[in-house]
Amino acid sequence: MRKTSRNKTIAITAFLLILLILALSTLFFLNNNNAEARRPPLGKTIIKYFVYPDGTSIGEGLEVELWNDGHEPIAYGITDYEGKVVFPGLHDGTFTLEWNWQALLYAETVRINCKQIVWEFVNELPYWTVIKTFYYDTESELPISHLNVTFDGREGVTDETGTVVFDNVQAGDYTLAWVWGGAEQSEEISIDFQTESPIVLTNYLEPKSVWMAKLERVEV
């Protein structure tokens, strides 16, 4: 009787020990999976900065594609407020980054190897140029010279061809303003990464004789 009871105790102990081993194995497996999930991707990282010629960031929103040496797109990114885009988890090799700027396709090929884990590159991108021309509202298109024009706080004067040029312009929203016929007139323009450069704008204004006649009629 004692022998049977002892055997039963041994069996229960062995069963509980097996359950404990299974529980510990499961816990180890789950913890290991969580650690794998938290672990950063293996491989190299490409960090690309896009700046204007003066070194300031282009800002967020530029779309960049990463291609491998087999001419296949493998990743896609968008610049942040620093003008930075990051491509992690890459193997050694040759890659091409492509982006569109001023409606033109740009590409740069880079090669990364085992020398370092993080590879940083900086690209300088061109400004925009805004060209504004004023004509009298006649069939002959006579230019309006010596007209003062402001562009987001910057000042310019039209030349003999009726043209004023503002260069070194970054992407953004701007206002062109001038005074004609005793009243201020303006034009809003928006420049994004796909806007072609130069930006050519034309305005036709009524000759002074026309608006002077209108002014005289109003005074009467």
C-alpha 171: how far from its chain's center? Answer: 10
Average confidence score pLDDT of the chain: 86
Beta strands in the chain (DSSP E): 44-51, 63-67, 73-78, 84-90, 93-101, 104-112, 118-124, 128-136, 148-151, 154-157, 163-169, 172-180, 183-191, 199-205
CATH number at residue 182: 2.60.40.1120
Maximum C-alpha span of the chain: 131
Mean pLDDT of the 183-189 span? 95
Total structural domains within the chain: 3
**How do strand 44-51 and strand 118-124 relate by DSSP bridges?**
parallel
* Same-domain pairing of 70 and 55: yes
Do 149 and 118 fall within a single domain? Answer: no
- Token reading at 60: 């967020």
- 83 and 110, same domain (yes or no): yes
Residue 16, domain extent: 1-39
Residues 138 and 84 in one domain: no
Of 124, 142, 160, the position where a domain reaches its end is 124
Q: What CATH code is carried by the domain that includes residue 50?
A: 2.60.40.10
At residue 109, does pLDDT exceed 80? yes
DSSP 8-state assignment for residue 139: T
Angle 200-148-186 from CA coordinates, rounded to 5°:
60
Rg, C-alpha atoms of the chain: 34
pLDDT digits (tens, 9 = 90+) for 28-87: 666 655 544 444 446 899 999 999 999 999 999 999 999 999 889 999 999 999 999 999
**Are 118 and 135 in a shared domain?**
no
In this prediction, residues 90-117 reach a mean pLDDT of 95
My answer on whether 139 and 84 are in the same domain is no
> What's the rounded mean pLDDT across residues 110-119?
92
pTM over 0.85: no
